[in-house]
Chain A
Amino acid sequence: MMAPTPVQRVLVALDASPSSLAALEAAARLAAWVGAELAGLYVEDEALLRGADLPLTRVVGSFSGQVRPLDRSGIERQLRAQAARARQAIEAVAVRSRLRWTFRVTRGSVTASLHEAASEADILSLGRGRAPTRMGRTTTAFLESSGVPVLLLDRPRRSGQAVVTVYDAQPGSDEALELARTLASGERTPLIIVLRGGDKELDELEDFLANRLRGQGAKEARFYRLGRGDASSLARLNPGKGIGMLILPRVSALGKGMAELLRDLECPVLVIRKSAESAS
Chain B
Amino acid sequence: MGLPRELNAAELYRKSDSAAFDFQTTRDLSDGVRILGQPRAVESVRFAVGMKHPGYNLFALGPAGTGRQFVIRHFLEEEASRRPVPPDLCYVNDFASPNTPKLLELPAGVAIRLKAEIDDLIEEISTALPGAFESEEYQARLQAMQQEFTEENEKKIEQLQQEAQSIGLAMLHTPMGIVFAPQKDGEVMSPDAFNALPEDERKRIESAIEGMQKKLQGILRGLPRLQRELRNHAKQLNEETTEVAIGQLIEDLKQKYADFERVRFHLDEMRQDLIGHARELLQGAEGQDESPIPAYGSPMSRRYRVNVLVDNSEASGAPVIYEDHPVYESLVGRIEHMSHMGTLVTDFSLIRAGALHQARGGFLVLDARRVLTQPYAWDGLKRALTSRRIRIESPGQALGLVSTVSLEPEPAPLDVKVVLLGDQSLYYLLCAYDPDFAGLFKVAADFDDRLERDTDSERDYAHLIAELIRKHSLRPFDRGAVARVIEESARSVGDSERLSTHVGHLSDLLLECDHWAGGAGAEVVGADNVERAIEAQTYRVDRVRERLQEGVLRGTVDIQTEGMHVGQVNGLAVLQLGTFAFGKPSRITARIRLGKGEVINIEREVELSGPIHSKGVLILSGFLSARYAAESPLSLSATLVFEQSYGGVDGDSASSTELYALLSAISGLPLRQSLAVTGSVNQYGQVQAIGGANEKIEGFFDLCRARGLTGDQGVLIPATNVKHLMLRHDVVEAVRAGRFHIYAVRTIDEGIELLTGVEAGEAGDDGQFPPDSVNGSVARRMQELAERRLAFARAASSPETPGPEVST
A contact set with B: CB distance below 8 Å: 16, 45, 47-48, 50-65, 67-68, 70, 75, 78-79, 81-82, 131, 133-134, 263
Specify which of B157, B172, B194, B209 is in contact with A131 (CB 8 Å cutoff). B157
Q: Which residues of A contact B209 (CB under 8 A)?
A: 56, 58
Question: Provided the pairs A48-B179, A79-B175 are in contact, do residues A58 and B190 lie with their beta carbons within 8 angstroms?
Answer: no
Q: Is B194's CB under 8 angstroms from A68's CB?
A: no
Q: Does B687 contact A (CB under 8 A)?
A: no
Question: Provided the pairs A70-B176, A78-B176 are in contact, do residues A57 and B181 lie with their beta carbons within 8 angstroms?
Answer: yes
Question: Provided the pairs A57-B179, A58-B179 are in contact, do residues A47 and B191 lie with their beta carbons within 8 angstroms?
Answer: no
State how many angstroms separate the Cβ of A130 from the closest Cβ of chain B: 9
Specify which of A50, A53, A59, A65 is in contact with B176 (CB 8 Å cutoff). A59
Question: Provided the pairs A65-B220, A67-B213, A75-B174 are in contact, do residues A51 and B179 lie with their beta carbons within 8 angstroms?
Answer: yes
Q: Is B172's CB under 8 angstroms from A45's CB?
A: yes
Q: Is A54's CB under 8 angstroms from B191's CB?
A: yes
A59–B209 CA distance with the chains assembled, in angstroms: 11
Known: A58-B213, A60-B180, A61-B176. 20 other contacts (CB 8 A): A16-B175, A47-B170, A47-B181, A50-B190, A50-B191, A53-B190, A54-B189, A54-B191, A54-B194, A58-B179, A58-B209, A59-B177, A59-B178, A59-B179, A61-B220, A62-B176, A62-B177, A62-B220, A70-B176, A79-B175
Q: Which residues of A contact B220 (CB under 8 A)?
A: 60-65
A selection of 19 A-B contacts at a CB cut-off of 8 Å is A16-B175, A50-B188, A50-B189, A50-B190, A51-B170, A51-B179, A53-B191, A58-B209, A59-B178, A60-B217, A60-B220, A65-B220, A68-B176, A70-B174, A70-B176, A75-B174, A131-B154, A134-B158, A263-B147
Question: Provided the pairs A53-B190, A54-B189, A131-B157 are in contact, do residues A59 and B174 lie with their beta carbons within 8 angstroms?
Answer: yes
A55–B202 CA distance with the chains assembled, in angstroms: 10
Q: Which residues of B contact A48 (CB under 8 A)?
A: 172, 174, 179
Q: Which residues of B contact A75 (CB under 8 A)?
A: 174
A45–B154 CA distance with the chains assembled, in angstroms: 22
Q: Which residues of B contact A68 (CB under 8 A)?
A: 176-177
Q: Does B182 contact A (CB under 8 A)?
A: yes
Specify which of A16, A53, A60, A263 is in contact with B216 (CB 8 Å cutoff). A60
A155–B135 CA distance with the chains assembled, in angstroms: 23
Q: 8 closest pairs, A vs B, by CB?
A: A51-B181, A65-B220, A50-B188, A61-B177, A53-B191, A65-B217, A59-B177, A47-B188
Q: Can you name the residue of chain A whose Cβ is closest to the Cβ of B136? A: A236
**Interface members, chain B 209-254 (any A CB < 8 Å):** 209, 213, 216-217, 220-221
Q: Can you name the residue of chain A whose Cβ is closest to the Cβ of B221? A: A65
**Interface members, chain B 120-170 (any A CB < 8 Å):** 147, 154, 157-158, 161, 170
Q: Which residues of A contact B182 (CB under 8 A)?
A: 54
A145–B161 CA distance with the chains assembled, in angstroms: 24
Q: Which residues of B contact A60 (CB under 8 A)?
A: 177-180, 213, 216-217, 220
State how many angstroms separate the Cβ of A265 from the closest Cβ of chain B: 13
A68–B190 CA distance with the chains assembled, in angstroms: 21
Q: Does B206 contact A (CB under 8 A)?
A: yes
Q: Is A51's CB under 8 angstroms from B188's CB?
A: yes
Specify which of A47, A53, A59 is in contact with B187 (CB 8 Å cutoff). A47
A158–B217 CA distance with the chains assembled, in angstroms: 38
Question: Provided the pairs A54-B189, A62-B177, A133-B158 are in contact, do residues A47 and B216 lie with their beta carbons within 8 angstroms?
Answer: no
Q: Is B157's CB under 8 angstroms from A50's CB?
A: no
Q: Which residues of B contact A16 (CB under 8 A)?
A: 175
Q: Is A51's CB under 8 angstroms from B172's CB?
A: yes
A79–B158 CA distance with the chains assembled, in angstroms: 24
A70–B188 CA distance with the chains assembled, in angstroms: 15
Q: Which residues of B contact A56 (CB under 8 A)?
A: 206, 209
Q: Can you name the residue of chain B whose Cβ is closest to the Cβ of A49? A: B188
Q: Which residues of A contact B161 (CB under 8 A)?
A: 134
A16–B176 CA distance with the chains assembled, in angstroms: 13
Q: Can you name the residue of chain B whose Cβ is closest to the Cβ of A67? A: B213
State how many angstroms separate the Cβ of A64 from the closest Cβ of chain B: 8
Specify which of B158, B173, B181 is in contact with A54 (CB 8 Å cutoff). B181
Specify which of A55, A61, A133 is in contact with B191 (CB 8 Å cutoff). A55
State how many angstroms separate the Cβ of A216 from the closest Cβ of chain B: 36
Q: Is A82's CB under 8 angstroms from B175's CB?
A: yes
A171–B216 CA distance with the chains assembled, in angstroms: 45
Question: Provided the pairs A60-B216, A67-B213, A134-B158 are in contact, do residues A52 and B190 lie with their beta carbons within 8 angstroms?
Answer: no
Among the interface residues A60, A79, A133, which one has the most CB atoms of the partner chain B within 10 A? Answer: A60
Q: Which residues of A contact B175 (CB under 8 A)?
A: 16, 78-79, 81-82
Q: Which residues of B contact A51 (CB under 8 A)?
A: 170, 172, 179, 181, 188
Q: Which residues of A contact B158 (CB under 8 A)?
A: 133-134
State how many angstroms separate the Cβ of B217 from the closest Cβ of chain A: 4
Q: Is B154's CB under 8 angstroms from A133's CB?
A: yes
Q: Is A65's CB under 8 angstroms from B194's CB?
A: no
Q: Can you name the residue of chain B whose Cβ is closest to the Cβ of A65? A: B220
Q: Which residues of A contact B194 (CB under 8 A)?
A: 54-55
A55–B181 CA distance with the chains assembled, in angstroms: 10
Q: Is A47's CB under 8 angstroms from B172's CB?
A: yes
State how many angstroms separate the Cβ of A137 from the closest Cβ of chain B: 10
Q: Is A62's CB under 8 angstroms from B172's CB?
A: no
Q: Which residues of A contact B181 (CB under 8 A)?
A: 47, 50-51, 54, 57
A51–B176 CA distance with the chains assembled, in angstroms: 14
A251–B684 CA distance with the chains assembled, in angstroms: 137
A61–B223 CA distance with the chains assembled, in angstroms: 13
Q: Which residues of B contact A82 (CB under 8 A)?
A: 175
Among the interface residues A47, A63, A134, A263, which one has the most CB atoms of the partner chain B within 10 A? Answer: A47
A52–B170 CA distance with the chains assembled, in angstroms: 12
A131–B174 CA distance with the chains assembled, in angstroms: 15
A50–B192 CA distance with the chains assembled, in angstroms: 10
**Interface members, chain B 453-482 (any A CB < 8 Å):** none
A78–B233 CA distance with the chains assembled, in angstroms: 38
Q: Which residues of A contact B174 (CB under 8 A)?
A: 48, 59, 70, 75, 78
A61–B175 CA distance with the chains assembled, in angstroms: 9
A47–B195 CA distance with the chains assembled, in angstroms: 17
A47–B194 CA distance with the chains assembled, in angstroms: 14
A70–B174 CA distance with the chains assembled, in angstroms: 10
A140–B154 CA distance with the chains assembled, in angstroms: 18
Q: Which residues of B contact A47 (CB under 8 A)?
A: 170, 172, 181, 187-188
State how many angstroms separate the Cβ of A186 from the closest Cβ of chain B: 30
Q: Which residues of B contact A50 (CB under 8 A)?
A: 181, 187-191
A60–B187 CA distance with the chains assembled, in angstroms: 20
Q: Which residues of A contact B206 (CB under 8 A)?
A: 56
Please encode chain B, from 749 to 790, with 1 for each CB lying within 8 Å of some chain A CB and 0 for all others. Answer: 000000000000000000000000000000000000000000
Q: Can you name the residue of chain B whose Cβ is closest to the Cβ of A129? A: B173
Q: Which residues of A contact B221 (CB under 8 A)?
A: 65
**Interface members, chain B 610-668 (any A CB < 8 Å):** none
State how many angstroms separate the Cβ of B511 from the closest Cβ of chain A: 73
Q: Which residues of B contact A52 (CB under 8 A)?
A: 179
Q: Is B179's CB under 8 angstroms from A70's CB?
A: yes
Q: Which residues of A contact B180 (CB under 8 A)?
A: 58, 60
A130–B508 CA distance with the chains assembled, in angstroms: 90
A75–B177 CA distance with the chains assembled, in angstroms: 11
A48–B177 CA distance with the chains assembled, in angstroms: 11
State how many angstroms separate the Cβ of B138 from the closest Cβ of chain A: 15
A278–B776 CA distance with the chains assembled, in angstroms: 159
Q: Which residues of A contact B216 (CB under 8 A)?
A: 60, 65
Q: Which residues of A contact B177 (CB under 8 A)?
A: 59-63, 68
Q: Which residues of B contact A81 (CB under 8 A)?
A: 175
Q: Which residues of B contact A65 (CB under 8 A)?
A: 216-217, 220-221
A61–B174 CA distance with the chains assembled, in angstroms: 9
State how many angstroms separate the Cβ of A237 from the closest Cβ of chain B: 14
A51–B179 CA distance with the chains assembled, in angstroms: 8
Q: Which residues of A contact B213 (CB under 8 A)?
A: 58, 60, 67
Q: Which residues of A contact B173 (CB under 8 A)?
A: 62
Q: Which residues of A contact B188 (CB under 8 A)?
A: 47, 50-51, 54
A262–B173 CA distance with the chains assembled, in angstroms: 22
A75–B178 CA distance with the chains assembled, in angstroms: 12
